[in-house]
Amino acid sequence: MKIRKITLPLLPLIGLVTVAVWFLAHRDQPPQPVADHPRLAPGVLMRDVTFHSKALQRDMQYRVFLPQNPGGQKLPVVYLLHGGGGIFRDWSNYSNVAQFAASDLILVMPQGDYSYYTNAALRPQDRYEDYIVNDLPADVEARFSTRGDRRGRAIVGISMGGFGAVKLALQHPEKYAFAGALSAAVDVPRRSFSWKRLNQSRAYREMFGPDGSDSRRNNDPFVLVRSADPAAAPYFYLTCGRQEGLLAPNREFAALLAKHKISHEFHEVPGGHDWNQWNTNLTGLFESLSTHFDLKKATA
């Protein structure tokens, strides 16, 4: 009897492998819910906004938590950046951050896509840094009673968003007085091309440029720290879980901040790379923010 050899079509198999690799590279975040389920707090209002970003040349969304009775005064604002694979609703759906808006803060949660909040080196249409630093604050300040000065503006993120918060604060110290990063993927521009993480490596190349390029170095927090002015830099608040693969680069980055005399604090905390850990550590972050950030209201 002749045995027939059965083979799988190559292209569909490659497609399945590609999907699997993409999923593994984007599993920072929990699966996105079909229905929105924000965790609200007493005395806090929620607003969703769609506006046109000049830098991205398309409409973008963001969510806002603000005090119910701002008292006709301009309030300090905190920008909250989501992680890889996440959306602008993540902070409201997976954390209890809304409660902190009751203390005369405006919290802004923008859509960041899978961008690392940077102007992509090989995708000129994806100018996410310009969108976050320029377009977003301009729209927020036009719609809401927020302070527009550096001392009344902070930026905070988790994972990919933690990288974004650190990098943008170092690149634009005139914009932010405080930067918080929970489990920041601070070492991403240093990661070399890997066949095992093919899609992720390709995405990093499009965002940051080829390995060893000027665009990689210009977006590398470890490089940016070396030229930062300690007197002008914002205050950095960093945490990382002891069960995370990101612990070693976060330790290294905190040590570099100390070496260059940039004001900061770094906490190694229990837990892994998930919202349970991040939500638990929000109180410490906002306590630090209240100490190192100007929470004064200004006359509207």
pLDDT tens column, 178-226: 999 999 999 999 998 788 889 899 999 999 999 999 999 999 999 999 9
pLDDT tens column, 215-246: 999 999 999 999 999 999 999 999 999 999 99
Angle of CA points 93, 251, 29, to nearest 5°: 20
254 assigned to some structural domain:
yes
11 assigned to some structural domain:
no
pTM of this structure: 0.89
Token pair for 150:
């550096």
Report the domain count for the chain: 1
For residue 90, give Cα distances in angstroms to 31, 44, 45: 10, 17, 17
User: Smallest Cα–Cα separation from 165: which of 264, 284, 260?
Assistant: 264
pLDDT tens column, 154-179: 999 999 999 999 999 999 999 999 99
In terms of pLDDT, which residue wins out, 70 or 261? 261
**pLDDT band for position 34 (cuts 50, 70, 90):** low
Cα gap 32→14, rounded to integer Å: 25
Q: What pLDDT, on a 0 to 100 scale, did the predictor assign at position 26? A: 45
Q: What pLDDT, on a 0 to 100 scale, did the predictor assign at position 69? A: 85
114 assigned to some structural domain:
yes
**pLDDT band for position 5 (cuts 50, 70, 90):** very low
8 assigned to some structural domain:
no
165 assigned to some structural domain:
yes
Mean pLDDT (the chain) is 90
Cα gap 167→172, rounded to integer Å: 8
CATH number at residue 57: 3.40.50.1820
300 assigned to some structural domain:
no
Q: Is the pLDDT of residue 3 over 80?
A: no
Token pair for 215:
């665009």
Q: Is the pLDDT of residue 73 over 60?
A: yes
223 assigned to some structural domain:
yes
23 assigned to some structural domain:
no
Q: What pLDDT, on a 0 to 100 scale, did the predictor assign at position 25? A: 44
When mean pLDDT is compared across 40-54, 119-133, 182-196, the lowest value belongs to 182-196
**pLDDT band for position 21 (cuts 50, 70, 90):** very low
Q: What pLDDT, on a 0 to 100 scale, did the predictor assign at position 297? A: 79
Q: What pLDDT, on a 0 to 100 scale, did the predictor assign at position 11? A: 42
Could you list the residue range(s) of the whole structural domain that residue 119 is in? 39-295
Looking at residue 64, the DSSP 8-state letter turns out to be E
Residue 154's CB: how many other CB atoms inside 10 A?
A: 30
Q: What pLDDT, on a 0 to 100 scale, did the predictor assign at position 12? A: 45
